[in-house]
Amino acid sequence: MFHAPEQVMISAMSEERHIAVTRTARYYVLGNPGPDVDDVWFVCHGYGQLASDFIREFECIESPRRLIVAPEALSRYYISTAPEFHGPDSKVGATWMTREDRETEIDDYVNYLDDLYAEIMGDIGHRKVSVTVLGFSQGGATANRWLTRGSARADRLLMWGALLSSDSDLNEAAAFFRDTSLVLVYGTRDQYADEGMIPNYEKLLNLHSIPYRVVSFDGGHRMDRDTLKHLAGS
């Protein structure tokens, strides 16, 4: 009796690879870049927002000598939990990253923000400018990673409704924030801030000798125009 030869099943193993591509990023500005500008703000929106909406929060601090730049995250999506197809009235938001392919997405937005910074500074044409970087909510971690991993320079970092990114090296942060002022801004009724979160975080910053200051306002997880005016010296 003859037996048929055994069939050996070989399963192919997939391999993850990456390719760098060119794509177009969108950003919005308040003000005109030029030699009269001496105060520049880069403002990073939160999860599910668009730069066109976010930059309106800063109209209250607009001035002839201030340029406000709102970059938009590279990944847009339809914001909806409804089961039907998305239509022309479906709201769109953007996100800076997700857990999927995390490090590549971080590298991409750091490079993008570095390129934007270089373009804006080139348009201004001189180096005698004060630079503020503000990150709201998810944009806080984005702003934090950009400044510590990228090539841009800032005089201060405003973490609004956000803490330093979870992957921050707090030992290295102590040296970094000697040259860049760190300001934590939060609403006293922020629904995402657990009780004791800010005091406990202050203890952590003090433990690592990280200089900072805290600014609070009566409100939830949102921007606050009176606080913005105060921080802008308006």
- Give the chain's domains with CATH numbers: 27-82+89-232 (3.40.50.1820)
**So what's the pLDDT on residue 234?**
61
Q: Which of 18-22, 130-134, 143-147 has the lowest mean pLDDT?
A: 18-22
Residues pairing with 67 in the sheet: 40
| Largest pairwise CA distance in the chain | 96
CB neighbour list of residue 175: distance below 8 Å, 6 or more residues apart: none
**pTM of structure:** 0.91
Instruction: Please return the burial class of 25, using the count of CB atoms within 10 Å of its CB with bins 0-12, 13-18 and 19+.
Output: middle
Render pLDDT for 185-217 as a digit per residue (tens, 0 to 9).
999 999 998 888 999 999 999 999 999 999 999
**Alpha carbon 88 to its chain's center:** 28
As a whole number, mean pLDDT of residues 34-52 equals 96
| SS3 assignment for 90-156 | CCEEEECCCCCCHHHHHHHHHHHHHHHHHHHHHHHCCCCCEEEEEEECHHHHHHHHHHHHCCCCCCE
